[in-house]
Amino acid sequence: MSFPVHQDAPWYHELSVAVAAADAAGEVILQFYNAQSADEYTKDDGSPVTDADLAADKVIREHLSSAFPDDGLLTEEGAKEESRLNKQRVWIVDPIDGTAQFIAANGKFDVLIALAENQRPVVAVTLQPVTGLMHAAIIGQGAWRRENGVWSAFEIAPAHNPPRMVTSVYYIAEGSEPAVKAVAEKFGSVDPEEMKVGTQARAFDDTQRVYDVFIGFPQPPGTSPGQEWDLAAPDLIINEAGGVYSDLYGRLHLYNKKNTHFSGGLLVSADHEIHLQVLKAMRPFLRETPPSPEPADDLPAE
């Protein structure tokens, strides 16, 4: 398979540009990574950013803006640009998802690019620069993986029995560990590992797969460490590959919101059956009234 979709297929152009942008960003990132030459800075929110993040962000912006000048753009390094809110089509980008992992030089970081239309992703690409492993998807057309330059269909294998469950230090609310542990025990699973990374499409790839269910507990409005650029690309790819990606109330996540955090937690599962079972098991530990999908609606008026 030379390219996952035919040039006459819907969204072909968008996907081809996103793939090229991810590859170009990956090359820039690897130059810094291999030379260990990226200076590190601290952003206003206390999170790290490096020269590699900024350079990759610039490359992706150039690709997307040149091909689609009328589309909106939301990147982690340009999150304060509000002109996107007036656009139906918005590119959502994390030039390096896992900057801490980039700094630690463990290879566990990715380039994430997604196009959202009417607040849902329709095209997505993720790339792990150190391995070259890429995943991509188009809404309604399926998902694909590219390894060593060769494209193939990407389909997530069903969950193990008992399911392997994990959470993340970035997605677990303070005091929610007992709830997550209780749910795992209900399924006969071991105490969920609190990973030091978020969820990724490649986490469900047979070559790297170590879990079947990822649980992120709801956090106060507007405080989630993970934001839209962390979620949009894996959201579409995992859903198109046969998995399920939702919040803990079973709702699909919305994108290009006023507040780029997410509400309602995060549940990512290998298949629909285990997803429904975990949703049911988690319900007693959640507040009865779900938060608004738009965190800005639950924040005090400024």
CATH code for position 286? 3.40.190.80
Residue 50's domain is classified under what CATH number? 3.30.540.10
User: In this structure, are 108 and 170 located in the same domain?
Assistant: no
What is the structure's pLDDT at 80?
Answer: 73
User: In this structure, are 207 and 101 located in the same domain?
Assistant: no
User: In this structure, are 136 and 259 located in the same domain?
Assistant: no
* More confident of the two residues 88 and 301: 88
Structural domain of 288? 165-295
Q: How far apart are CA 263 and CA 228, in angstroms?
A: 11
Mean pLDDT of 85-112: 95
Is the pLDDT at 5 greater than 80? The verdict is yes
Out of 104, 123, 153, a domain closes at 153
What is the structure's pLDDT at 228?
Answer: 96
With a pLDDT cut of 70, the percent of the chain lying above it is: 99
What is the structure's pLDDT at 1?
Answer: 67
Beta strands in the chain (DSSP E): 40-42, 48-50, 72-75, 89-97, 110-117, 120-128, 133-138, 142-147, 150-153, 165-168, 193-195, 213-216, 244-246, 266-269
Is the pLDDT at 272 greater than 80? The verdict is yes
Is the pLDDT at 247 greater than 90? The verdict is yes
Q: pLDDT confidence of 302, banded at 50, 70, 90? A: low
Q: What is the pLDDT of residues 144-185, one digit of tens each?
A: 999 999 999 999 999 999 999 999 998 988 889 999 999 999
3 within domain boundaries: no
302 within domain boundaries: no
Domain count, the chain: 2
Mean pLDDT of 258-275: 96
Which of 155, 142, 136, 148 lies closest to 16 in space, CA to CA? Answer: 136
**pTM, entire model:** 0.96
Is the pLDDT at 188 greater than 70? The verdict is yes
User: In this structure, are 170 and 136 located in the same domain?
Assistant: no
What is the structure's pLDDT at 127?
Answer: 98
Q: Which two tokens stand for residue 85?
A: 């809110």
User: In this structure, are 76 and 142 located in the same domain?
Assistant: yes
